[in-house]
Structure 1
Amino acid sequence: MTHGIHHVTAIAGPARRNIDFHTRILGTRLVKKTVNFDDPGTYHLYYGDEAGTPGTILTFFPWEHVAPGRIGIGQTQETAFRVPQGSIGYWSQRFVEQGVKHQAPVRRFGETVLSFEDPDGMPLALVGVAGAETEPAWTGSDIPAEHAIRGFHGVTLLLREAEPTAAILTDVLGFREVGREGTILRLESDAAAGSVVQLRAVGDFPSGRAGGGTVHHVAFRASDDAAQAEMVRRLAEGHGIEATEQKDRNYFRSVYFREPGGVLFEIATDDPGFAVDEPVSSLGQTLRLPGFLEPRRGSIEAVLPRLEAA
């Protein structure tokens, strides 16, 4: 059974700007153009590798006039992607040329990390990983394959204290503690992509505020319904935390809960994946709606912001 991050969902400003940055600047694939099932007047955009493999999927709810959020306690401080170890120089130069706000590379846990922001101020990073060049990459952008993003490295969560969250990650979600640097506790799973969760304990610090540039939730992988149900059982019996009822998100089935540090966690199934309603060859090209919203397609399309061909 493979554990790790399934996807990360964040809040963005204008959808067209979001698509341009993540497909053109970062070179990830728009694998699904749908709507927020709970708020169908808003897009839900998914980016990933060619097929939207679990561990590669960054998703956004884009609102045209969203107020900026504030990162604080109970939120994701940074979302990081994997790139080949020798590619950090390429990306530093690209960010200079494209006017992307970024910092000088630093070393963390023996890896080179290049931190940057998207147009909404969402904190992102590229981490140079030894051996990542042998992993498959999406080649449908102008990023050379040898430098392309290989899915997630992981996330860093900002917490008052690390241990209660670490207990959930190790006992329920399949991670193990591997080290500490300063205030950061690092946990890893057996996944190729999305295998790292870092817990930064900062004590008393202002709470975060949801808005543009902030992460809404972090989703973790369950291979199927049975694995998900076992995680839910362990969460309730071992930690006294009840997850929501299962929700069908078309491309995976999900349950949600707040972990002890206040971050919204999801457990999402690997199946059925993004090719359930369109071929892999044409993922993300047309607006896909779940069956219960299909009768409202006309009215939904009428209120969604217009997008040029992505």
Structure 2
Amino acid sequence: MTMAIGRIHHITAIASAPDRNLAFYEGALGLRLIKQTVNFDDPGVHHLYYGDETGTPGTILTFFPYPGARAGRHGAGQAEEIAFAIPEGSLGFWQDRLAGLRLAVEGPAERFGERLIALKDHDGLMLELVEDEAAAALPGRAAEGIPAEHAIRGLRGIALWVEDAADTAQVLTEVLGYEPGPVEGNRSRFVHPGAGLGRIVDLRAVSGFWAGAMGAGVVHHVAFRAADDAAQAAATATLAARGIRVTPQQDRTYFRSTYFREPGGVLFEIATDAPGFAIDEPVAALGSRLMLPARYEPHRAAIEANLPRLRPVHDTA
């Protein structure tokens, strides 16, 4: 089932050292670096995109790496616990692999009847690997030490930590097309009826918990899919009718975006599926060199001189 709006397009987080970020996500987890560019609003900082072979919406995790960035604080008003989908039967492989890399892992545990393990990257970003019954039908990309049958398929979902879940739930159901699902403790699950990845958003009611603070190891925003500009505009109109301010559309080269802060405080984006990541380099070469939007191209030499060098993964293991 294809839906015009909803399901996760990508998640963006703050990181510290870009070389360590690359080593972890491409080297340890086996994701593909599909684009290296800059923060379009701050060209002195990399913007690194990881995903599947082509950067399919729903597989994309991105980072703004600020060398020496102070650690953020996990708390209310933030997106936490980024969940990756892996095929059923793959949890043992990942436990062994992560233990071999001397990475601390919690679990296995069970939530809503699904088995998972939890870990953090070097900045403290909360991650989960969840066995998903539908994952085996999605293509897996083999990487060094990771056979295709056990590879991460993409983003399963995200948890939002909010003081009061009711208003956030209305945005999920009335604007982004999610439907209420099961409840476990303080966690309410919302599931999108569309097929594919990024269908899960969990709301965790954390009333009385301290507020989160932005910094390394914290999610910056969660982007949801729009099939096209018309679907994005319709969602924007619905939000405006609810009294929620939405930015004008921003051209991010690989998609077009609008942004708003949902009632619980988490920054949301609505991003178009098109034009995709092969617009400025062929699929075989994705992520191999720094790509800049046209307005920054005249300043390439200065920008490249200012950015930290991205070391190859085998140099950072």
What TM-score does the superposition give when structure 2 sets the normalisation length? 0.96
| Residue pairs, 1:279-298, within 5 angstroms | 279-298=282-301
Q: Report the counterpart of residue 11 of structure 1 in structure 2.
A: 14
| Residue pairs, 1:153-168, within 5 angstroms | 153-168=156-171
The answer as to whether partners of 1:44 and 1:59 remain within 8 angstroms in 2 is yes
Give the whole-Å Cα distance in 1 for the aligned partners of 2:97 and 2:217.
21
1:105 is paired with a residue whose SS is: strand
The answer as to whether partners of 1:113 and 1:125 remain within 8 angstroms in 2 is yes
1:223 aligns with 2:227: yes
Give the whole-Å Cα distance in 2 for the aligned partners of 1:219 and 1:256.
9
Q: Report the counterpart of residue 62 of structure 1 in structure 2.
A: 65
Unaligned runs of 5+ in 2: none
Q: Report the counterpart of residue 149 of structure 1 in structure 2.
A: 152
Q: Report the counterpart of residue 132 of structure 1 in structure 2.
A: 135
Give the whole-Å Cα distance in 1 for the aligned partners of 2:279 and 2:143.
21
Picking from 51, 70, 87, the partner of 2:54 is 51
Aligned length: 309
Unaligned runs of 5+ in 1: none
Q: Report the counterpart of residue 211 of structure 1 in structure 2.
A: 215
Report the AA paired with residue 224 of structure 1: D
Give the whole-Å Cα distance in 2 for the aligned partners of 1:153 and 1:94.
20
List 4+ stretches of structure 1 deviating above 6 A. none
Give the whole-Å Cα distance in 2 for the aligned partners of 1:265 and 1:62.
20
Report the AA paired with residue 201 of structure 2: V
Q: Report the counterpart of residue 169 of structure 1 in structure 2.
A: 172
1:169 is paired with a residue whose SS is: helix
Report the AA paired with residue 217 of structure 1: H
Q: Report the counterpart of residue 30 of structure 2 in structure 1.
A: 27
Give the whole-Å Cα distance in 2 for the aligned partners of 1:268 and 1:131.
24
State the 1:93 CA deviation: 0.9
Q: What do you get for the CA RMSD once the two structures are aligned?
A: 0.9
Give the whole-Å Cα distance in 2 for the aligned partners of 1:141 and 1:267.
34
2:253 is paired with a residue whose SS is: coil
1:300 aligns with 2:300: no
What TM-score does the superposition give when structure 1 sets the normalisation length? 0.98
Q: Report the counterpart of residue 81 of structure 2 in structure 1.
A: 78
**Bigger CA drift: 132-141 or 82-91?**
132-141
The answer as to whether partners of 1:28 and 1:141 remain within 8 angstroms in 2 is no
Q: Kindly provide the CA deviation profile for residues 94-128 of structure 1, in whole angstroms up to 9, marking residues without a partner as x.
A: 11110112101111011001100011110000000
Q: Kindly provide the CA deviation profile for residues 223-262 of structure 1, in whole angstroms up to 9, marking residues without a partner as x.
A: 110000000011111x210210000000000000000000
Give the whole-Å Cα distance in 2 for the aligned partners of 1:104 and 1:296.
48
2:89 is paired with a residue whose SS is: helix
Give the whole-Å Cα distance in 2 for the aligned partners of 1:137 and 1:236.
40
The answer as to whether partners of 1:23 and 1:141 remain within 8 angstroms in 2 is no
The answer as to whether partners of 1:114 and 1:125 remain within 8 angstroms in 2 is yes
State the 1:140 CA deviation: 4.2
| Residue pairs, 1:175-254, within 5 angstroms | 175-189=178-192, 190-237=194-241, 239-254=242-257
